[in-house]
Structure 1
Amino acid sequence: MELFLLSNGKLADDAPLLGYAQPQLHAMIAQRGITSAVLIPYAIIRGDQQQRAVDLSVSLGISVRSIQDFSSAVEAIEQAELILVSGGNTWFLNQMLHEKGLVVPIQRAVRERNVPYVGWSAGCNVATPSIRTTNDMPVRSTVVLPALGLFPVQINPHYIDAHVSGHMGETRDERLAEFCAVNPDESVIALREGSFLHVSEDRLNYFSVRDEDFKLFRHNQPIQRCYDVSALQSLVPFRCD
C-alpha cells in the first residue's frame, strides 16, 4: 500500500500544486511507470475542478483526468494507475464518495491492487477512519462520518498553534484535546502546512519542507511534538524507522 497524506496542496498562490512533495511524488511515478491518474475533485465547491486536473497534469508530468469525465466513476477507480483526491470541503467530499459508491472500490484499489493514493487537505482527512477531525463546516444536512480508513489514525491537516490576537475562542490544541477526551481510545496527528505522511511498502515516513514538527494528541497525555514517526509505532501497523 502506498499513501501520500498531505496537509495542504500549495505553500503559496503561485506555487505548483503539490509542489513541495514533487521529489517524492515524481520518484514514485517514475519507479512505477505511471502515465495517468484519476482525480476525485468533489471537495472543490467554488473552484474550477477541470483546471485542478490541468494543474496536476503539469505538476506531476502525467495525464490527469477528473473522475467526472468517465462514464462510470467506479470503473474509473477500477482502472486507475494513481488516485488523486483534492482538498476542499471534507464533509461534501466524504458524502459524495459514499453516494457515488466509491468507498469500497478505492479501498480495494489501494489495498488489493496497490494503487497509490495521494490526498491533500480534505483528501487527507477522508483517508483516515472518519472525518471527525476536519476543520471544515458540514455544509450539507445529511452527514456521513465514516471515511476510507486507509490510514488507521485520525489526522488534522492545516494544523496551526499560533494565537491570533483578539480571538477568544478555543485554540486548535484545545479542540483536538476535546476530541481525545470524548474519544479516549483514539489519537490525532496534527500536520502543519508543507508536511505529509508517506506510507510505502508498510513503512511510514514523515516529511516537512520547513523542517517543522507534527503534534500527537492522546487522552490524558501531554501533547507530543514529533520530528519523526517513531512516536507513532504503537498506533500504526507500519514500520516507523
Structure 2
Amino acid sequence: MDLLLLSNGKIAGNDKVMEFALPAITELFTRKQVKNVVVIPYAVIRSSHDDRTAMVADTLSHLDVNVTGLHRAEDPVKAIREADAIVCSGGNTWVLNKTLHDLGLIGPIQHAIANRGVPYVGWSAGAVISAPTIRTTNDMCIVSAAITPSLNLVPFQINAHYIDATIEGHNGETRDERIEEYLIVNPHQSVIGIPEGSWLAVSGKTMTYEAANGKPLHWFKLNQERRMIEAGSDVSELLGLDG
C-alpha cells in the first residue's frame, strides 16, 4: 500500500496544488510506473470538478501521465479498476464521503489500493477519508443522511489543517478541545493532527511524517499528553504494525 496523505492543497509560495509535496509524488508515480491518473473531485463545492481536475493535471504536467476526472467517467467503478493512481481532492469531506458511498466506490477504491497496489494521494478531505471514519473532519455537514465510515486505509483518525493557535475574541472550543471531546467519546482511538504543508507517506508497513515547513505532527490519545513528532520521523508505530 502506497499513500501520500497531505494536510492541504497549497501553502504560501506555491502556485499549484500539491506542489509542496511534488518531489514525493513524483518519486511515487515514477516508481509505480503510473500512466493513468484518476482524480476524485467530488469534495469540490465552490468551483467546478473540471477545474479541479485541470489543476491536478497542471501539477503533474512534468510526468508522462494521462489525468482524467472520475466525474466524467461513464462507469466510475470501471474507471477506478483501470486506474494506475488515484488523486483525491480536498473540499467538503461530508459531500465527498457520501458521494463515494452513493456511487458504490468505497470497495473498489479499497481493493485498488490494497490488492492492486494503486498509489493514493489525497489532500485535506482526500486525506481525512483514509481514516476509519470522517468524524474528525473540520467541515460542516452540509448534506443530509450523513455517512461517517470511510476508506479505513489507516487505523487512526486524521485532523487535517491542524492548528493549535487560539484566536483573540473567539470563545468557542479550540481544535485541541474538539479533539479531546472526540477521544472522550471514543477512548480507544487516536487522532493525528497534520498541519499545513505536511503529509504522511505510507509504503507497505512503513510510514514517515514529512513537512515542507518543518511543522511537527501532533498525536492525540485519551489521558496522554499530546505528542509532537518532528518532520522526517519514522512513525510506523502509528500504523499499529510494530507489535
Please give the TM-score of this superposition, normalised by the length of structure 1: 0.95
Instruction: Work out the CA distance in 1 between the residues paired with 2:240 and 2:186.
Output: 20
Write the deviation string for residues 93-126 of structure 1: whole angstroms up to 9, x where unpaired. Answer: 0000000000000000000000001111000111
8 Å Cα contact 2:10-2:18 kept in structure 1: yes
Q: Cα 1:146–1:10, aligned 2, differ >3 Å: closer, same or farther?
A: same
Report SS of the residue matched to 2:8.
coil
Question: 1:203 Cα deviation (Å)?
Answer: 1.0
Query: What is the match of residue 41 of structure 2?
Result: 41
Tell me the equivalent position of 1:97.
100
Match of 1:151 in 2: 154
- Structure 2 residue aligned with 1:140, among 127, 140, 143? 143
Tell me the number of residue pairs that the alignment of Structure 1 and Structure 2 aligns.
239
Partner of 2:24: 24
- From 65, 71, 74, the equivalent of 1:71 is 74
Q: Report the residue type matching 2:164 in the other structure.
A: D
Correspondence for 2:218 among 207, 211, 215: 215
Counterpart residue identity of residue 192, structure 1: P
Alignment root-mean-square deviation, CA: 1.6
Is the 2:208–2:234 Cα contact (8 Å) retained in structure 1? no
Percent identical pairs in the alignment equals: 42
CA distance in structure 2 between the partners assigned to 1:146 and 1:33 by the alignment: 31
Q: CA deviation at 1:238?
A: 4.7
CA distance in 1, matches of 2:191, 2:120: 20
Aligned-residue offset at 1:217: 0.7
Q: Distance in 1 between matches of 2:235 and 2:4?
A: 19
Aligned residue in 2 for 1:86: 89
Q: Please, which moves more after superposition, 159-168 or 100-109? A: 159-168
Query: Which secondary structure state, in structure 2, belongs to the residue aligned with residue 159 of structure 1?
Result: coil
Report matched runs for 1:52-63 at 5 Å: 52-61=52-61, 62-63=65-66
Runs of 4+ in 1 over 2 A off after TM superposition: 228-232
Q: Write the letter of the residue equivalent to 2:20.
A: Y
2:184 aligns with one of 181, 187, 195: 181
8 Å contact 2:8–2:196 — kept in the other structure? yes
Aligned counterparts of 2:13 and 2:93: Cα–Cα separation in 1: 21
CA distance, structure 1, for counterparts of residue 153 and residue 174 of structure 2: 28
- The TM-score normalised by the length of structure 2 is 0.94
Distance 1:19 1:198, change over 3 A: same
| Matches of 1:14 and 1:215, distance apart in 2 | 24
Q: Which amino acid aligns with 2:15?
A: A
Q: Matched residues in 2 for 1:172 and 1:221: separation? A: 17
2:166 counterpart of 1:163: yes
Corresponding residue SS for 1:37: strand
Asked if the contact 2:207–2:234 (Cα under 8 Å) also holds between the matched residues in 1, the reply is no
Query: Matches of 1:6 and 1:126 in 2, distance apart?
Result: 12
Instruction: Show the counterpart of 2:134.
Output: 131
Unaligned 5+ residue runs, structure 1?
none
Q: Quote the Cα distance in structure 2 between the aligned partners of 1:231 and 1:100.
A: 33
Shift of the alpha carbon at 1:63?
2.2
